[in-house]
Structures are given as structure tokens and as C-alpha cells.
Amino acid sequence: MSHDASEGAAKGLEELLRTAGRLQAEVARVRDELERRRVEGESGGGLVRCAVSGAGDVLSLTIDPALVAMTPALVAMTPAKGSPADDAASLRMIEDLVVAAVNQAIGRARELAQQEMARVTGGMPMPPGLLGG
């Protein structure tokens, strides 16, 4: 390899490292921004709501008291009304609504994070952990 070729390769590597450093800093900035963003999910027509950060951390979960009040009436429409199974069925229904709201919120957070990271990386997929994540 000639002196000019090795010098050109060194400059190319130096530029690549500078670009990687800028990209890593931008990814860190986006991650910080996502921590401050808030997305929501809901189920049961808004009776159960969940808020998560853009990073996917659950921030709050709200169950409308009307849901608890109406649950026995909904369970009463089932064939096993008046049995101890009523409470279990009511609880299962509320739990299902909570899971649905949480999953929707987390899904929205993932979508937001993917959009923001794609904007930073120009849509180029990055291997997990490459840029510190």
C-alpha cells in the first residue's frame, strides 16, 4: 500500500469515527427526549387508561370508578350470577382491560421510539447495542 493510500484510509477511518460519534450523541439525545415524552393507551371505552414514557416505562394507570361499579351488573348477565365466581369474573374482566390498556400504551411508545430513531439514523437499521442501547 502506498503512502498516499494509507493516508487516505486513515482520513476515511477518522471521518467514519467522527460520524459514529455524532450519531451516538444524537441517539443519546433522542433517548433523553423519549424519557420525557408521554403516550397513552386505553381500553373499555376509556374506562381504563395507561400512560407510559416514550422509553416504555409505565407512568400511571387509571381505572374509572364507574367500571368497578358496573362490573357486578355485567357479571350478573352471565349464567353463574350470584356465585363466588362473580367476583373472580369481575376481577378477570378488569385485569383484561388493564392489560389491554398497558399493551396499547407500550406499543405506542415503541412505535414512537422507532420513528424517532429512524429519523436520527436515516432509516438505516442499527444492530442492538451498537450505539450504546
Cell numbers placing 49: 387508561
Please choose, from the candidates 99, 88, 93, the residue with its C-alpha nearest in 3D space to the C-alpha of residue 74.
93
Domain spans of the chain, in order of start: 3-121
Pairwise CA distance, residues 25 & 35, whole Å: 16
Cα atoms in the 13 Å half-sphere on the side-chain side of 82: 1
Fold of the domain built from segment(s) 3-121: Ybab; Chain: A; (3.30.1310)
Spatial CA neighbour of 39 closest among 18, 59, 19, 20? 59
What is the distance of C-alpha 80 from the center of its chain? 38
This prediction has a pTM of 0.72
The 10s digit of each residue's pLDDT in 17-52 is 888 888 888 888 988 999 999 999 999 999 999 999
pLDDT tens by residue, 42-101? 999 999 999 999 999 999 999 999 998 887 666 555 555 556 667 788 889 999 999 999
Provide DSSP, the chain.
--HHHHHHHHHHHHHHHHHHHHHHHHHHHHHHHHHH-EEEEEEGGGTEEEEEETTS-EEEEEE-HHHHHHHHHHHHTSTTTTSTHHHHHHHHHHHHHHHHHHHHHHHHHHHHHHHHHHHHHTT----TTTT--
Predicted local distance difference test score (pLDDT) of residue 3? 67
